[in-house]
Chain A
């Protein structure tokens, strides 16, 4: 029996703070380097040390990267979650546990195979010191997994060498730990298991990267110089990545002078204010945050909208409301981003579905903000932002130049009779701006209070409305300048399915699987708000559309109904809001069940 090849999932259960992340990354990297498409999801607690944490790795030769529906192998290294871990194995699957201690009753289950390896004891004998033993036990289970599913040990050793190359003692210990687990599994279990790996060549032009790092790269390449933030999970790593990149590429080699300024603000309100001040003064500036931060920034967002200050916000969404579940994913900020702040507002929001789009959309966000002189949000989520994804190698076009929009310099100002900040001179609803300090003629006074098209304070209804109407036209025009929806049509499809951002991987897979069941759907993934015409047209062209999203209240569906005029009842929600990413399984079941209902 050859078994299943390159199509399975395994899950590692450990204790937070014990250093398992590096072992999990090692496993994922090794599979990737064997040329096999792989995705990983870190299911971690909001905790520094002691609570349970899991890491799911899915191997799929077709490149499906959504969360797996079933787990074939669980590596149960945390006795506190044995019961849960045993229950999480699919029927006929395997569980590997640390048999240094007597087998726990919780580990008994009919229909699964339980494998015991005394990794703790082996490490106790082989290594010195509690911390070292704990850390190396992780590498030992990675070794055991390598034996069980045929991960190339040499590939793992190469990866370890890259990590510990300069610390020979550590490297040697890691090699030994890897071998301990590997050899034990080889000697005691029937390796490989009925699911295993075989080298492919499907990852050569790809990288493994998380969305926050990719977004930080986008900020670097877009020329952002000012970053302001308040630490918040799951957005923190975006600014930390940006800082790392700046320290690498933006520090003068001779003088040590920095071509960037990152301000860790007192709160998210200040972070938004700093971005607005810096952008107004002519720099490209941004802030990364998550839902609670967006709530706090509402007032400043309205100011930037009304006073037309370009500003870029990243919302790495997590489960709300309130503090919610900081380490769980959701897409529940859609409505609060689209119309953030009091009064009549509407904002540009971009929805990346993967790290590659986090990179490209970060750059687009700065261009759009400058061009339309308005806040722009990039709404990713915890799953995209913090997990490693396999994605095509990022490319940069060296011909790119920032689109700073309409900015009047000295010469242009000289040709003007008089400069007025909010005067639309050419009918495109965008009024040219000036940068402070450049020229006395360009001076203007920004006020969040009512102003007329000349920038003067007003309480006159008509003068106020004139500006508000232009803002509405400006945002409407922006709709067609945003990344359009990704549409995948199929022959004979009468129904559609719509999704957004982090649902993409699951929906792509679901569409294929539904087709195998005879259910043919056209697929549209929305990539920007306000919606362009193509979005409404897709909805109109299908009698019914499923709308898959990760929130309780079908926010995307509400937005679509409100903004396109398509009747709400023609859109059937497919929702996942428990905090874990959408699965293809969930979409397939929801669609199939609904269609069965309708045809009865």
Chain B
């Protein structure tokens, strides 16, 4: 286990955010993952994101499937409702909850087994529906809880702990998401919090399905020599092509949004906050879906792990936008606005004669 139980004592000097909450208020139960697990770093990043964005924890809802990654929803935001669903089908549960209450901030945590094998169809269709959900895929290329089988994201030639070489081609979730029309596609690395945190912030503020693939090495089963999802391999082949800063809504924005200003490019989110791309690779345009796809394929063939906020599309309607749902959460509509009453029923039944 990577952490020890912490007493719920608050040090008076702990920094507080605009809501008067400390970082500790955004934490959850003690992690039961292996020491050094990449997933715990992602959990810590999410805590930081919520703390820094001054978000009330109880307005978030957390979803996960089954697997090591899916356990982590218990390890952050203890004051949020969480739903650890069945293997691979978390996107369906999250879709339902998002349908019922469009005001809550939905976060889905999944793994490569969860999203790319047993739940591949659900993952694809949540993208298609553009459910307003920050979807984090904690990708380690391996089944941890069942002790080391290759997952669908394992690269060809990657070596398992037992020495087997993976022969089947991987499903790349980023390429898949781009193909399916995802409106927010990012890849990051659990070992690079500085990159990950602004991406998660932007994803949380994105109105629609925000997909973040995070390479998150499994220290027990996939961190050895010959693995392509190890800390070492990732660090050595890592290429940050589209790093971003996230400028929350209340911050004074110096540069006009949506512009190329001195090497940075700003994209305004629906709530007025801004995603600021800095030093984007000259050959890379994060608003060009086709270009992004081609670039990623090319770099991948060269053995690079391309990271950053790789694609962002503004203004596409989310599930409720497509449906034309009322602004009030459906779960909060008073009954009298839902039931037409007996008089209407009797008039309707005239058509059934």
Contact = CB atoms under 8 A, between A and B. Distances in A.
A278 interface: yes
A33 interface: yes
Interface stretch (A388-396, A506-514, A556-564, A577-585): A388-396
Interface string B267-297: 0000000000000000000000000000000
A226 B325 CA distance: 11
Interface residues of A, number: 72
Interface centre among A255, A272, A283 (most CB of B within 10 A): A283
Contact of B341 (A209, A226, A398, A444): A398
Contacts of B89: 269-270, 273, 299-300
Interface stretch (B43-51, B53-61, B298-306): B53-61
B331 A281 contact: yes
Interface in A419-452: 434-440, 442-449
A540 B58 CA distance: 53
A197 interface: no
B52 to A, nearest CB: 19
A401 B338 CA distance: 11
A284 B129 CA distance: 21
A269 B299 CA distance: 37
Interface string B74-106: 100011111111100111111111111101100
Contacts of A226: 96, 99-100, 330
B14 interface: no
A481 to B, nearest CB: 21
Interface in B27-50: none
Interface stretch (B120-128, B191-199, B214-222, B307-315): B120-128
Contacts of A448: 84-86
Nearest to A457: B74
A208 B332 CA distance: 35
Nearest to B32: A457
Given A263-B99, A277-B96, A285-B96, A436 B61 contact: yes
Contact of A276 (B73, B96, B339): B96
A185 interface: no
A273 B341 CA distance: 30
Contacts of A282: 100-101, 329, 331-332
Nearest to A226: B99
B1 interface: no
A223 B100 contact: no
A440 B122 CA distance: 30
Nearest to A391: B352
A439 B79 CA distance: 9
B101 A281 contact: yes
Nearest to A275: B96
Interface string A199-213: 000000001110000
A593 interface: no
Given A274-B92, A278-B99, A282-B332, A258 B326 contact: yes
Given A437-B81, A440-B79, A223 B335 contact: yes
A273 to B, nearest CB: 3
Contacts of B263: none
A283 B331 CA distance: 4
B8 interface: no
B18 interface: no
Interface in A279-329: 279-283, 285, 299-300, 303
Interface stretch (B152-160, B179-187, B237-245, B342-350): B342-350
Contacts of B342: 395-398
B10 interface: no
Contacts of A259: 325-326, 330, 333, 337-338
A223 B339 contact: yes
Nearest to A300: B86
Nearest to A33: B353
A208 B331 contact: no
Contact of B84 (A269, A276, A447): A447
A257 B324 CA distance: 6
A5 B89 CA distance: 59
B146 interface: no
B85 to A, nearest CB: 7
A269 B121 CA distance: 10
Contacts of A272: 92
Contact of A394 (B63, B129, B332, B345): B345
A281 B58 contact: no
B327 interface: yes
Contacts of B224: none
A444 B324 CA distance: 31
A183 to B, nearest CB: 28
A261 interface: yes
B86 A225 contact: no
Contacts of A260: 325, 330
Given A249-B340, A263-B129, A209 B95 contact: no
A262 B345 CA distance: 22
B330 A270 contact: no
A424 to B, nearest CB: 20
B17 to A, nearest CB: 15
Given A221-B340, A228-B96, A270-B122, A445 B326 contact: no
B323 interface: yes
B95 A263 contact: yes
A537 interface: no
A435 B97 CA distance: 11
B161 interface: no
Contact of A436 (B81, B326, B345): B81
Interface centre among B81, B86, B121 (most CB of A within 10 A): B81
Contact of A225 (B78, B104, B333, B344): B333
Nearest to A257: B326
B320 interface: yes
Contacts of B57: 440, 443
B335 A273 contact: no
B82 A266 contact: no
Contact of A261 (B56, B63, B323): B323
A445 B82 contact: yes
Given A283-B331, A443-B79, A277 B56 contact: no
Interface of A: 29, 32-33, 207-209, 217, 220-221, 223, 225-226, 228, 249-250, 252, 255-263, 265-267, 269-283, 285, 299-300, 303, 393-398, 400-402, 434-440, 442-449, 457
Given A261-B100, A270-B92, 20 more contacts: A220-B339, A223-B339, A225-B331, A225-B333, A249-B344, A259-B325, A259-B337, A273-B93, A277-B63, A278-B96, A282-B101, A303-B86, A398-B342, A436-B81, A440-B58, A443-B58, A444-B81, A445-B81, A449-B84, A457-B74
15 contacts: A225-B338, A259-B330, A261-B100, A265-B125, A266-B124, A270-B95, A276-B93, A277-B83, A277-B95, A277-B96, A281-B100, A283-B101, A401-B335, A442-B58, A445-B83
Which 5 A-B residue pairings sit nearest by Cβ, starting from the closest? A277-B96, A273-B92, A282-B331, A283-B100, A436-B81
Interface of B: 56-59, 61, 63, 73-74, 78-86, 89-101, 103-104, 121-122, 124-125, 129, 319-320, 323-327, 329-333, 335, 337-342, 344-346, 349, 352-353
